[in-house]
Amino acid sequence: MRIVHSADGTAIAFDRTGEGPMVILVAGAFSHRLYPGLMQLARLLAPRFTVINYDRRGRGDSEDTKPYSVQREIEDLEALVQEAGGLPHVWGMSSGAVLALKAAAHGVNIKKLALYEPPFVIDDSGSAPPKDFVAHVSQLIAAGDRAGAIKYFMTKGMSAPAMVVPMMRLMPGVWRKLMAVAHTLPYDAKLMEGNVAGRPLQPAEWASVSAPVLVMHGGKSPASLRHAAEALAGVLPNAQQRTLEGLSHRKVSMNVMAPVLDEFFTA
């Protein structure tokens, strides 16, 4: 494990493996650098790339300076970009894809950007979270109700069936991992704020993203995520869209993902 300090002094933990062009992995909600899928993706890319796999602030071994802001998470990623030498490739999944995209829009120096299923809600094919979603998730965490925050985030934010949470509670190892990062769910909610209300994406919001972008979605994912990926690829200045057959938002094969990233980053 290594440490880099963000602009506000927060220590951000990361692992660095492999050799070659730099790639930074940005996790989504509930994930951190020791999440099995991220560790597998780092291993698969390491023969051809130097991979930085990090804990977003508040997760794993990274610190969590208050108050939270999206800008501070962008600064965390920027500190890692500087650690990587200034022009890495970046891969992000779900809310991590949104964080990576916002960093690029704010001028963080990224060579190529690969995004898997940024969970925007851009039409009526998906369920938009309640208008007070950020506030309610934050209130649950402030009250110490991590289990309630997990249930609310999954059902109201991720449109998961109500039975999913009780099933997860029956798996102690899985539930323990969810509880360990539940306090960061308001951060993911704030990242999504403004782009989950069922309205079309605004090209002006992303016009400054000059890096080549690959926007991916799974062939088994809901129509709302497919529509979001297609819409995002359509409003970005330099983007392509790709469907990864057999994948979904909850079931992502890194054995499928890794060669797609290899092809895109080395093209």
Based on the fold, state whether residues 118 and 33 are members of the same structural domain: yes
Confidence grade of residue 145 (pLDDT, cut at 50, 70, 90) = very high
- Please say which residue of 192, 216, 235 terminates a domain: 192
* Residue 172 clears pLDDT 90, i.e. is over it: no
Terminal-residue alpha carbon distance, the chain: 31
Average pLDDT value over all residues in the chain: 95
Q: Which tens digit of pLDDT belongs to each residue from 12-61? A: 999 999 999 999 999 999 999 999 999 999 999 999 999 999 999 999 99
* Residue 171 clears pLDDT 90, i.e. is over it: no
* Residue 166 clears pLDDT 90, i.e. is over it: no
Based on the fold, state whether residues 207 and 97 are members of the same structural domain: yes
Based on the fold, state whether residues 117 and 240 are members of the same structural domain: yes
**Dist CA 3 CA 192 (whole Å):** 27
Based on the fold, state whether residues 113 and 49 are members of the same structural domain: yes
Per-residue burial over 223-253, b if 16 or more Cβ lie within 10 Å, else e, is: ebbbbbbebbbebbeebebeebeebbbeebe
- Please say which residue of 173, 192, 211 terminates a domain: 192
Based on the fold, state whether residues 186 and 203 are members of the same structural domain: no
- Please say which residue of 192, 221, 237 terminates a domain: 192
Domain that holds residue 25: 2-124+198-266
What number is the average pLDDT over the span 76-92?
Answer: 95
pLDDT value of position 161: 82
CATH number of the domain where residue 59 is located = 3.40.50.1820
What number is the average pLDDT over the span 89-97?
Answer: 98
pLDDT value of position 48: 97
Confidence grade of residue 150 (pLDDT, cut at 50, 70, 90) = very high
Based on the fold, state whether residues 161 and 84 are members of the same structural domain: no
Based on the fold, state whether residues 178 and 235 are members of the same structural domain: no
Based on the fold, state whether residues 160 and 105 are members of the same structural domain: no
Contact (Cβ atoms closer than 8 angstroms) between residue 138 and residue 186: yes
CA atoms within 13 A of residue 1's CA, in its CB half-sphere: 11
pLDDT value of position 125: 85
Number of domains comprising the chain = 2
Based on the fold, state whether residues 97 and 156 are members of the same structural domain: no
Based on the fold, state whether residues 81 and 206 are members of the same structural domain: yes
pLDDT value of position 152: 94
Based on the fold, state whether residues 9 and 73 are members of the same structural domain: yes
Q: Which tens digit of pLDDT belongs to each residue from 194-217? A: 999 899 999 999 999 999 999 999
Q: Which tens digit of pLDDT belongs to each residue from 104-134? A: 999 999 999 999 999 999 998 878 899 999 9
Q: Which tens digit of pLDDT belongs to each residue from 49-74? A: 999 999 999 999 999 999 999 999 99
* Residue 159 clears pLDDT 90, i.e. is over it: no
Contact (Cβ atoms closer than 8 angstroms) between residue 231 and residue 200: yes
Based on the fold, state whether residues 206 and 187 are members of the same structural domain: no
Percent of the chain with pLDDT over 90: 88
Contact (Cβ atoms closer than 8 angstroms) between residue 187 and residue 96: no
pLDDT value of position 158: 87
